[in-house]
Structure 1
């Protein structure tokens, strides 16, 4: 079932979301200071392609630099990305078939708001 949902997700919205995250990652990697944001954006792009069967967990060992980076990310990109995921989730939930896809879009809101210090792990991982 995860594979079918992932294929539907990829066709309907995952590919376009991943392209957006990759573009943001490339822009962030232009400057040396913003490379951590670029790496986080590439990680989210991978998650946006194939979200079913994976989940996001917070890394308890991430410290103050991660928190400061998340505040900067939230101000400049996080709010807009989260609004995009919310709008996509609402649009997907209009149909019965799209409800699981809409829930997956809502599930991506926290990682789009605060990507630093988060890990994407398989759903059956003990940390999940």
Structure 2
């Protein structure tokens, strides 16, 4: 089902919206300061072309201990990079995904495609600090983080 969904998505215009991400990556790759944006845009371009079976997680969700060096990108630098992205390419991508989602949801068959478009619209403003992973990995990472938070909560209450 994932393969069929990805092929249909790609043929019906997923490749076209992925080009916006690639243009954004190329623009920000020119400067050293734009490297976090370039990395995020390349990850999201891949997701935009083939969204079924993939999910986006924050890099803190992938590291239960919170010691990965990549988490530094989510601090002030990540915030500034995301603001720059939202003001340049983020708004255009957001509107593109919303239009694609509404058009896909006009038919019953297109609803799964529309839901993917809305998922992508949600991340188009704030891509820095997120990673594209398989849906199963995202689910396991979120479960482990929920378990550790529950354990900390129970330890604080007891």
The alignment's TM-score, normalised by the length of structure 2, stands at 0.75
More helix, by proportion: 2
SS in 1 for 2:57: strand
State the distance in 2 between where 1:41 and 1:11 align.
21
Q: Which residue of the partner structure matches residue 25 of structure 2? A: 25
Asked if the contact 2:34/2:81 (under 8 Å) is kept, the reply is no
- Structure 1 residue 47: deviation in Å? 0.6
| Unpaired segments ≥5 residues, structure 2 | 61-70, 143-158
Indicate whether 1:74 and 2:86 are aligned: yes
Structure 1 stretches lacking a partner, 5+ long: none
Q: Is the Cα–Cα contact under 8 Å of residues 24 and 89 in structure 2 kept in the other structure?
A: no
**What is the CA RMSD across the aligned residues, in angstroms?**
1.4
Checking the alignment, whether the CA contact within 8 Å between 2:57 and 2:132 is kept in structure 1 is yes
Deviations 1:50-106 (A, max 9, x none): 111111111233322111211221122212211111111101111121111011000
1:45 aligns with 2:45: yes
Secondary structure of the equivalent of 1:97? Answer: coil
* TM-score, scaled relative to structure 1: 0.91
Corresponding residue for residue 155 of structure 2:
none
Partner of 1:89: 101
1:58 — aligned with what?
58
- Compute the displacement of 1:117 (Å): 0.8
Gap change, CA 1:46 and 1:38, over 3 Å in 2: same
Counterpart selection for 2:120 from 108, 111, 116 = 108
Matched, 1:120 2:120: no
